[in-house]
Amino acid sequence: MSSLRTCTIERHFIEQQEKHPEATGELTRLMHQLAFAAKQITKEVRSAGLSDILGAAGHTNIQGEVVQKLDEISNDMIYRAFDHAGVLCCMASEEREKMIPIPNEFHYGKYTLAFDPLDGSSNIDANINVGTIFSIHRRVTPEGTPGTEADLLQTGREQVVAGYIVYGSSTMMVYTTGHGVNGFTLEPSLGEFLLSHPDMRIPKRGTYFSINTGNYHYWSEGVKRYVDHVITPNNEHGTPYSLRYIGSMIADVHRTLLYGGIFMYPLDFKDPKNPKGKLRLLYEAAPMSMVIEQAGGLSTNGKQSILDVVPTGLHDRVPLFVGSEDNVYELLGFLDKFDH
Ligand code: P6P
């Protein structure tokens, strides 16, 4: 890429701010902190294989999952990037049961941050892509006061910023402010995120489907019929499709954004403790759905756009179908025909 055209993420933040004369710069400062935390976590993830931070930390998080040490390190890095930054009034993390308040000695900002510090972390030991997912809302309670859960429990449609950082062969930050999607790749020798994927668009249709087929017998009839359809030769649109499933949502959805197709984590009747599905609405499904919808794709829980699902709790779970427009519409046709 010509250095004359290189756009750093910092310049992109400023250019986004300049489009809004009323902007105070608080959101720009927030995004700078996020980029800083992403660089810190990158350093930990890259060295994880060489130090003793691999392996479980021994205790379990609110989801009942064994917490990996890198989960905690990532969680703390994000907390420390924001507790004093004066841009947030409160936070929510996959790793913490309750809302995370901003210490009262610091200024309460006008935004909230819900995040999954290290999605897919159960794959860390296998050196599989993991990532940070983030969702930012404008507070709804009076400015200058401590944030409350009400500030966090807003729909995905109300997100001001949504995106993710994927720690793979390179570190990429992909985010949207509601005006399209842009991807930035970390140039480690410079310590800079550079605009590598401007104006990302998901293909209208893809020939990949992504789902844990091990749960087949626990799916609804509609999901089963859809998967049977896409693996049957010579159906329209070039079936059989290829199955790609890493078990790290951020990696599976990132691939879906780039190559097209559909990612699915449906309700499965296997796990009575997850009667509403496995993936969390606030800091997994909603931000990833905003990115995909902003890139021209669709998201649904089987009945409505994920972005319109109203959260009732910080850790609400939802069934998730997200990806290319044609693939999601095709799936909905099977759900309508066999599940309703
Ligand atoms: P399963 C990772 O633990 C995660 O939350 C998502 O990143 C991923 O898509 C899903 O769970 C994988 O779940 O049941 O297929 O192992």
3-state DSSP of 195-232: EEECCCCCCCCCCEEECCHHHHHHCCHHHHHHHHHHHC
- pTM above 0.85? yes
Assigned fold of 208-338: D-Maltodextrin-Binding Protein; domain 2 (3.40.190)
78 contacts 35 by C-beta, under 8 angstroms: no
180: Cβ–Cβ under 8 A, 6 or more apart, which residues?
199, 200, 294, 295
Band of the pLDDT at 55, cuts 50, 70, 90? low
Which protein residue has the closest C-alpha to ligand 1 atom 9?
249
Which tens digits make up the pLDDT trace of 4-28? 568 999 999 888 888 888 888 889 9
Pocket test for ligand 1, best of 248, 252, 283, 322 (most atoms within 8 A of CB): 248
Which protein residue has the closest C-alpha to ligand 1 atom 16?
247
Q: Where are the domains of the chain?
A: 4-197, 208-338
How far is the C-alpha of 148 from the C-alpha of 152, rounded, in Å?
Answer: 7
Sign of CA dihedral 138, 141, 144, 147: negative
How far is the C-alpha of 33 from the C-alpha of 244, rounded, in Å?
Answer: 33
Which tens digits make up the pLDDT trace of 134-145? 999 999 999 999
Which protein residue has the closest C-alpha to ligand 1 atom 13?
247
Which tens digits make up the pLDDT trace of 138-188? 999 999 999 999 999 999 999 999 999 999 889 999 999 999 999 999 999
Which tokens hold the place of 26?
């608080």
CA proximity to 111, closest of 56, 151, 52:
151
Q: Is the CB of 120 under 6 A from ligand 1?
A: yes
Alpha carbon separation from 333 to 6, 229, 253, 337 (Å, rounded)? 44, 12, 21, 6
Q: Considering just the CA atoms, what is the radius of gyration of the chain in Å?
A: 20
Pocket test for ligand 1, best of 119, 128, 268, 280 (most atoms within 8 A of CB): 119
Better-predicted residue by pLDDT, 223 or 104: 223
Q: Is the CB of 94 under 6 A from ligand 1?
A: no
Which tokens hold the place of 9?
């993420």
Domain 4-197 annotated CATH 3.30.540.10: yes
Q: Which amino acid is at 260?
A: G
- Using left for φ > 0, alpha for ψ between -120 and 50, and beta otherwise, residue 321 falls in beta
How far is the C-alpha of 127 from the C-alpha of 22, rounded, in Å?
Answer: 44
Paired strand residues for 171: 167
Q: Is the CB of 63 under 6 A from ligand 1?
A: no
CA proximity to 239, closest of 261, 224, 213, 216:
261
Q: How far is the CA of 148 from the centre of ligand 1 (A)?
A: 29
Please check the confidence at residue 3 and state whether its pLDDT lies above 70.
Answer: no
85 contacts 26 by C-beta, under 8 angstroms: no
The average pLDDT across 201-208 equals: 98
Taking each helix axis from N to C terminus, what angle separates 26-47 and 69-82, rounded to the nearest 10 degrees?
Answer: 160
Which tens digits make up the pLDDT trace of 252-305? 999 999 999 999 999 977 777 667 889 999 999 999 999 999 999 999 999 999
The average pLDDT across 108-129 equals: 91
Q: How far is the CA of 253 from the centre of ligand 1 (A)?
A: 12
Pocket test for ligand 1, best of 62, 265, 274, 320 (most atoms within 8 A of CB): 265
Paired strand residues for 134: 115, 163
Share of the chain above pLDDT 90, in %: 74
Edge-to-edge, what's the strand order for the sheet holding 100-101?
100-101, 88-93, 111-119, 130-138, 161-167, 171-176, 181-187, 192-197
Which protein residue has the closest C-alpha to ligand 1 atom 3?
120
